[in-house]
Amino acid sequence: MKTRIMIIAFLLFGSGTMAQIPDTTTYEYCEVVSITKKLSPVANIGAVKVFIDFGKGFVFSSDNPLKDDNAVDLEFISQIDCLNYLSKKGWKLGQTSMYLQQGGGFLRNVTRYTLSRPKYLVKK
């Protein structure tokens, strides 16, 4: 009798469990670096230079601008403007670091943002 109850309990409760599928998503990363031209409490238009590195061997900046879907040059007036654009493209902010850099007789604020997004699902 106990054996029958155990078999019935196993069939009722054990059949609903499933093994966990490991996350095999591969991610791609990019880095956004912003450098203020002069350390100022007020951000002026053009006071920040933004660089975007997708790891393809070159860096996008105002000298080599990133283009939108219509091949129009993108100009970012601030690092947040750039992060908002990348967020719309599926990028998620991961890590941020900031430091001061001496240059040209004044301090410049350098901020690095690391972003990621799923690239594709690896099938096993």
Domain extent for 94: 22-121
Residue 25 contacts residue 118 (beta carbons within 8 Å): yes
pLDDT average per 10 residues of sequence, the chain (124 residues): 68 61 84 79 66 91 88 88 93 93 78 91 50
Q: How many helices (H) and strands (E) does the chain have?
A: 2, 5
Q: Residue 116 forms beta bridges with which residues?
A: 29, 92
pLDDT of residue 21: 77
Residue 41 placed within a domain = yes
Residue 51 placed within a domain = yes
Residue 26 placed within a domain = yes
pLDDT of residue 41: 54
pLDDT of residue 117: 93
Residue 17 placed within a domain = no
Residue 16 placed within a domain = no
Residue 8 placed within a domain = no
| DSSP-assigned states of every residue in 26-51 | EEEEEEEEEEESS--SSPPTTSEEEE
Q: Could you give the number of structural domains in the chain?
A: 1
Query: pTM of the predicted model, to two decimals?
Result: 0.69
